Amino acid sequence: MAEITPEYNAKIIAEFRASRGRVGGTWAETPLLLLHHTGAKSGVSRVNPVAYLPDGLRYLIWAANGGAPSHPAWYRNLMARPNTRIEVGSDTIDVEVAEATGEARERLFARAAERYPQLVEVARSTDRVIPTIVLTPRGSI
């Protein structure tokens, strides 16, 4: 998988915001949200487009990182600062972040893999367990 550059992400983010959450091309069939996070060490605010799966009022994302041997930087940032916000469509939502573990992680990852079969291939390409992250809107807990 090609490395995703900041320039590529900036283009996706601009398209997402200009079209109220819709992105074309490779991402046309994939629902994306914009994940805000703050650097655990740097304190720098960042935004990454990520695929998601709705789960009732919650949103599921996974730290696949294209099957790379390490988690994406945003994963470490979210674990260090689990209160953040996301953009879904034209809405900005304050969320609390939690990593699913054990049986819950297995169940939620399997659900995500049904929707995104490529997750299974990505999981097979790395020795690490791909974290499944649950984003719960604040006030709905």
Tell me the pLDDT tens digit for each residue of 86-119: 999 999 999 999 999 999 999 999 999 999 999 9
Whether 51 and 64 have beta carbons less than 8 Å apart is answered as no
Q: State residue 113's pLDDT score.
A: 95
Q: Over the Cα atoms of the chain, what is R_g?
A: 14
Q: Is the pLDDT of residue 2 over 60?
A: no
Query: Does this model's pTM top 0.95?
Result: no
Look up the CATH number of domain 6-137.
Answer: 2.30.110.10
Tell me the pLDDT tens digit for each residue of 16-62: 999 999 999 989 999 999 999 999 999 999 999 999 999 999 999 99
User: Where are the domains positioned within the chain?
Assistant: 6-137
Query: Alpha carbon of 139 to those of 54, 57, 63: distances in Å?
Result: 17, 11, 25
